[in-house]
Amino acid sequence: MTQVVLTEIHGKVGLIRINRPEAMNALNNEVVDAIGAAVDAFEADENIGCMVITGNEKAFAAGADIGFMKDFDYMHAYKTDFITRNWERIKTTRKPVIAAVAGFALGGGCEMAMMCDMIFAADTAKFGQPEIRLGTMPGAGGTQRLPRAVGKAKAMDMCLTARMMDAAEAEKAGLVARIIPADQLLEETMKAAATIAGYSLPVIMMIKETVNRAYESSLNEGLLFERRVFHSAFALEDQKEGMAAFVEKRKPVFKNR
């Protein structure tokens, strides 16, 4: 049986590939559970400092699997805690996750990419929230994360008309961090992930947690949180090593402590 999610470890980077090419990587329970299991494994592995989630050249993911959910009723969706039960493992991991998106990232696929800490887009990437065409609405964060990323005007436009945004527009609007030629997408994303993973793991996690606070709090609360975490960073052996290495003009050796 083909595995719907493939994982690889490259140095300190954990790579997760969604592998349902016959269905444009549509996301069903099996796929989302397997992504969650991969995140669990990479989270538990002290050697891993960053994760990358990708699809194939045609699709990151064209949404939640429509056949899988078409006959759900309210009680089933509610009792099984559809979405919250397993999709949000990507959100809860303390290590950074980069979405490397080529081709379609639609519906739940766009929402999954937005759950990641940043999106690197191939020049072929197309983002959209076309659920309205199916008589439903975004339900994995699209109505909340898209306005925060691109502003209310473009988010309303995308969710209400179902139009897609190409990579250039997505970068201009702030949805994606970088645009990369499609044939170099994975290589360049893995390079950036390796750069991140080469730093001190506790510092990586502190920065991720603190940047995320910007979304959850007022500016003053966020600044206070930053200051407390920043002060605590002086307790790290890696801070002593990093600054000593700079002064001594050598490369630091971080021990994740």
Binding track, positions 34-63, relative to ligand HXC; x by CB under 6 A: ----------------------------xx
Catalytic status, residue 108: yes
Catalytic status, residue 216: no
Scan residues 71-130 and list those touching ligand HXC (CB under 6 A): 83, 104, 106-108, 130
Q: Rule CB under 6 A: say whether 132 interacts with ligand HXC.
A: no
Counting residues that bind ligand HXC (by CB under 6 A) gives 20
Q: At its nearest, how many Å lie between ligand HXC and the CB of residue 158?
A: 12
Catalytic status, residue 64: yes
> In what side-by-side order are the strands of the sheet with 165-166?
59-61, 104-106, 126-128, 165-166
Applying CB under 6 A, which of residues 23, 90, 115, 193 lies at the interface with ligand HXC? Answer: 23
* Catalytic annotation, pick one of 111, 128, 171, 197: 111
Catalytic status, residue 135: no
Q: At its nearest, how many Å lie between ligand HXC and the CB of residue 169?
A: 17
Active site residues: 64, 108, 111, 131
Contact residues toward ligand HXC (CB under 6 A) are 23-24, 26, 62-67, 83, 104, 106-108, 130-131, 134, 138-140
